[in-house]
Structure 1
Amino acid sequence: MSRLLRTDFKIGFLGAGQLARMSSLKAFELGMQVAVFSDREENEPVQFMTPYSTTASFDDVEAMAEFAAECDVITLENEFIDSDVLKRVQKLSDTPIFPSPESFELIENKLIEKQTFEKAGIPVTPYKLVQNREDLKAFGEKHGWPYLLKSSKGGYDGYGNETVSTIEEAETAFKNLGGEQGHDIVAEAFVDFTHELAVQVARNETGHVVYPCCETVQENHINVAVKSPAQVDRSVRERAQQLAVAATEAINGKGIFAFEFFLTKNGNVLLNESAPRPHNSGHYTIEGAITSQFENHVRAVCGLPLGSPDLRKPAVVMINLLGTHRREAVIEHAVDAIAEPDGHLHSYGKLQSKPGRKMGHYTLLGDKMNATFERARTLTKSIEI
């Protein structure tokens, strides 16, 4: 363990957005150096924090291997990379990557992910790979209209997803998502649910820890708020936690993993999606938990003992702060939110704002969930970015 806490230990992040930024802050607290690999031309949030920054394509194996060779361990901020690339990078650089390429391979796109968890006996939402008009029509006839079409790789925050209500809409969406260009498109049935839930799990050779089951509030396929713990029966929360652990074990995961679930009207808990990295649904843990998902991310991939996921207060609420203007990023009308006792404003340091873009978040801790949630919404309602 002492070797991992030396001050020249360098952790490398593939991706340089806000998730890597928040994990990096915890790595800095442990005295580590941070390096980032970005595939974007624009300056990203972590690049302002470290001199060790590389910009190249996620398909550029040589550039990524050269970057990895300068690091002691590599970890992921997103899942837009191919597992074959990760395997080659690890082999060329001889630097460990966590989650491992083998674990990542089992969930690297939405089709493989469903197949992996279904094989492990974990209940998932009904799905099917669709390749033509006949498949699109047959899925609607079997599971009902409307349903969702998803790009198997690269979708997030509503991007890469389309809701279709007719065969004509399905054909158009299939084309828009790249189905005619050979991209795998997955159809998913709409689930009659009452709540959307999420659980984070940190796991490494020292053991695993499971965060509370929280509830995510969605609008237009974007997570706009999180309540922890979820206001559902304790048995439901425990069931979601059990499934999250089983899913992490099914891929032999080392790192931090997030799992999203549907609670159906008949009381079943279905796994919807997973992420091999910190997740927006776990941002509340920075102030709301004894050990945040970001600190446990760093601890997990570095082989350190994992910290407690227990909540610091009975009610924790996180509100996503989305862009409201297309302009240079400026946060306005946030004074009351900042002044609120046990209220915590986070700006991700993105230079440009646009409507709907995640620019920051606000966390409020309290004793009663309903009152804390309403207060958080009131404090953030007037914020403009």
Structure 2
Amino acid sequence: MGNRREFIKNTGLLMGTSLLADTDALFASERRKMSGNGRLRLRFKPYTLNLKHAFNLATSSRTTTPVVLTELEFDGIIGYGEASMPPYLGESHETVTRFLSKVDLSRFDDPFEMENILNYIDHLEAGNRAAKASIDIALHDLIGKIIKQPWYKIWGYDPANAPVTSYTIGIDTAEVVRQKVKEAEPYKILKVKLGRETDKMMIETIRQVTDKPLCVDVNQGWKDRSFALEMANWLHERGVVFLEQAMPKEQIEDNAWLTEHSPIPTIGDESVQRIDDVLKAYKVYSGINIKLMKCTGMREAHKMLDLGRALGMKIMIGCMTETSCAISAASQLSPMVDWADLDGALLINNDVYRGTEVINGKVTLSKLPGIGIKKI
């Protein structure tokens, strides 16, 4: 525990570098330029994403995903945000719009008070993480636009270091799996959903079509640790580079045992929601999957990344089925991660923004300010 505290202490010291001092000076400079008559205005509307293929997981299947698109305006500048609500998060159009209707930003006349604003949002009501993320993302986009810089640059990250992204192959018949793999030709690594009785068929079918590296996401689908280890060894022999959330998050000892014995890294996803879960995941998993919709947005995702790095854990930045708004927001962190799974906007046919692109499989950040998007 002492070493763990020292890691966290060192991370805090690093946060006090000249980079952050320069950022504070930039924020102060832009504050002085504002008219002083602005009001933060929040707008939002429900939207439904249509998937190109049915999205089949270990325990569910869907062809659409509900989202709520937000706008946060100040002094005529608009920041864009998004809440995406896959079923397991427990949020919906109704819960998100109800929560956002309770938000009163009239007490804030300075958008640069990000900590105060986002603390108010977080404590307004428990849960509602995707709803909170929609405001967090919009606020980051707004601030970036005011200071005319993208967030990867504000944080001091080199966009050239952004990794390739995996492309998700959902559980399906052998025929459809082969079709999906062919459609994924531009991508350098494939993420395969497992957790049903067809697991070996899925991998064997993909290996008939490609020898690309694979990662697998079981979505808590395996229950027995001996079986999970047997599968980890079998997958390792077939070019799988990591194993995501093999067993239910409640099986802490089993997951830790698997991590100790597995020939490939294990990643906690459903078990790692917010920053408090990072310490709990230490030595239970090899790494963590950070998603904006789980952790309330960019502010906490950034803190989780720093803490995970301080603990020596592998870091993955992931997504739900989302538009290019939330994908572009998450991609601002991508230059600092080991793996990216930022294909959510690639799986839909009705995106409403353009931002981060995937070029030759690589996450390619926009030079636009804020989260780097524009409306289509």
Question: What is the TM-score when the length of structure 1 is the normalising length?
Answer: 0.25
Higher relative contact order (CA 8 A, sep 6+): 2
Is the helix fraction higher in 1 or 2? 2
Question: What is the TM-score when the length of structure 2 is the normalising length?
Answer: 0.25
